[in-house]
Structures are given as structure tokens and as C-alpha cells.
Amino acid sequence: MADNGLSPAVPPRVTLHDDPLRAPVLPFDSGVLPWPAHGDIAFLRARDGWPLRQFPLERMRCEQGFKPLADGLRQAGLDVQPQLEGEAEASLVLVLPPRQRDEAQALLARAVELAAPGARVVAAVANDEGAKSREKDLQQLAGLAGTLTKFHCRVFWTPPLPGAQDAALLARWQQADAPRPILDGRFSSRPGVFAWDRIDPASALLAAHLPGDLAGRGADLGAGWGYLTAEVLDRCPGVTALDLYEAEARALELARGNLAAHAARVALFFHWHDVTGGLTEGGYDFIVSNPPFHAHDRGDRPELGQRFIEVAAQSLRRGGRLLLVANRHLPYEATLAATFATQRVLAEGGGFKVIEAVKNDAVKGRGR
């Protein structure tokens, strides 16, 4: 990315004790299971970290749809894709199932399908993220050959596959997180993405207070599955182009479909992108955003929203407007005051606040 005068990106939180990442390598590290000598190794919901470094990784193929974690894997020299494609050929499948049940069951079904004959699936889940439920799921789907508990996690694995698999259950779970109509068919969404089956109340508050005179070229930072962009396009007829930036690939793909009806009137561009790293585009007339304030580990990170504000200030033209919604308690006002000429609260409700900020000639304290 070209130097655009932005401050350094906020990286994904890295800890010395990434327990769910330590857990899946435990049976190999302890000698309970052998690390495969041949064939590809698939790692679903992968992330980089020192526990992996004990083993040869040149044959590892990683699947990660969250851009900051995908970038971390790529920077470590690992092969990573938002979704792995191809036939069942992995000699080992590692998987870190998510908390959401439907998404987790679909991921376990994909893991079983990716396993070559004779391969195992090894899964690890933190105890407070539903470890026992996911262990029962994998047992029901493909059988279990072992379980270990350590690092506040459970790691469990199948016998060599194919085993006594339930073909009907496998097919049903493969569709467990498939896209489906929501909100009386207005949108399509899928389990696992943020606010997947409802309108997030913060985004709804922002949508209800969007100025109708937004016009020209805009951007939605953290666009999710496209609700806020759809509201902008419905409420603001002067908008001619809009860029969507979203770190979660699954959500961005949903947004493409949800906004297809607007494509004939407005130029839409979809970016699988980590906003905290800055934007390659600029000169926007307006930006809307409901920024995240949690990391992938579910920890509070208000600095993410503060970084979104900085990036928005750098990416707007002179006189451009930021329309932002946030939890009322989040400390964004100081960042807004440092980066925008003016700010005002448009609305408050349900624990949220909608703020409009306007950029002046140069971002305060941020000269290029």
C-alpha cells in the first residue's frame, strides 16, 4: 500500500498465550498423534502464532476470511485463502470452530469433506466458547478417537477417515450456514456474520438519522452484509458512487448480492479490506460507519473505532462528512476533535449516539 500519511495500523491483538491455537497442536507435540509426513495440511479458521512453528508448515493451506488474520498468515509466509477449494485431499485437517452453532457445524462438515482417505480432523475450542458442544458435534458426524483438555480448551480428533459417517447429517450440516432470506426477504444473510438475522440497533439508529442530502461519492467503513449502504442508497438519491470496505469476506459476499438491485443506478465497489491499515482510495464526499470495537478474541478494543475515525478523516475531501454511530460510552470525542473541524451529536438512543463530523482544509495534527 502506498504511503498515505496515515498513522500505523492497529494490528490484530497478539498474545503470548493464544490458548485455542496452542490446543490443536497438543496431541502432536505430546506424541499422541504423528504429524503427517506427506500431503497437504488444511487449517480452517487459521491464525498465525508461535505454536505452529514447532512443525513444518510448507505444506499447510490456511483458510481465513477475516482480513487482519489473513494478512498475518500471509506475512508469515503461509498460503491463505478466504475459502479453500478443491477435492478431499488433506492428510490432516486442523479446525478452530467458531462459537455460533450453525456456522460451526458447517465448518466441521467441510473439514470432514476436505480430509483425504485415512486422514484425521483435529478440532480445538475454548471451554467458554462451547467446547463440549463442538466435541459432541464432531463425534456425531465422524466419530472420535481421542480428547485432551489443557489451556482452558478441549482438543478432540476423529479416527482415520472415512469412518462411520452419517451421509445425511453431513449434507445437512454443509448447508447449516448457507445464505437465506431475512427481514421478509429484503436481504440475504447467513449465520456467523455480525447481526446476521436482524438489523443491528446501532446501524438502525444511524440509518434513521442519515441526512437526505448526502451526495456524490461515499464509503461505508465496516459495511457488513450491506444494510447501512442499502439505507444510504434508498434515502439519499444524490449518491452516485459508494465503496464498501469490510474485513469479513463472508459478509462482503452477502453485500454484493444484497445491493445488486442498486448497481444499475450507482457505481458500487466492494473491498475485502482491513480499514485500520488505511484506504487506497480517497477524496470521498461522505463516509458512514458503524465501526467495530471488539477483536476476533471478543476483547474490547475501542482503539479500533478511533482508528476508523482517523482513516475516515484522511480519506474525506475538504468539507466531507463522517456519519458515525457508536456505543455512548466509547471515548471517540477526543479523536474526533483531533481529526475533524466540527462535530455534533445528531441523535442518542438505546445506549448509542450518532455523530456527524466535518473535515476542514487539513486534518489537525496530521499533515501529509
What is residue 256's predicted lDDT score, i.e. its pLDDT?
98
Under a CB-based contact definition with an 8 Å cutoff, are residues 161 and 119 in contact? yes
Residues of the chain short of pLDDT 70, as ranges, are 1-17, 87-88, 163-165, 294-300, 361-368
R_g over Cα of the chain: 22
Strand, coil or helix: what is 268? strand
Give which of 21, 28, 100 is closest to 62, Cα–Cα: 21
- Pull the grid cell for residue 22: 496452542
Distance CA 296, CA 25 (A): 20
Closest Cα to residue 24, out of 3, 1, 45? 45
| CATH numbers and ranges of domains, the chain | 19-174 (3.40.50.150), 180-358 (3.40.50.150)
Q: What is the pTM of this model?
A: 0.90
Question: Chain centroid to CA 64: how far?
Answer: 9
Residues contacting residue 153 through CB under 8 Å, at least 6 positions apart: 19, 20, 22, 23, 124, 125, 126, 127, 131
Predicted local confidence at residue 287, as pLDDT: 98
3-state secondary structure of 204: helix
**Which residues pair with residue 271 across a beta bridge?**
245
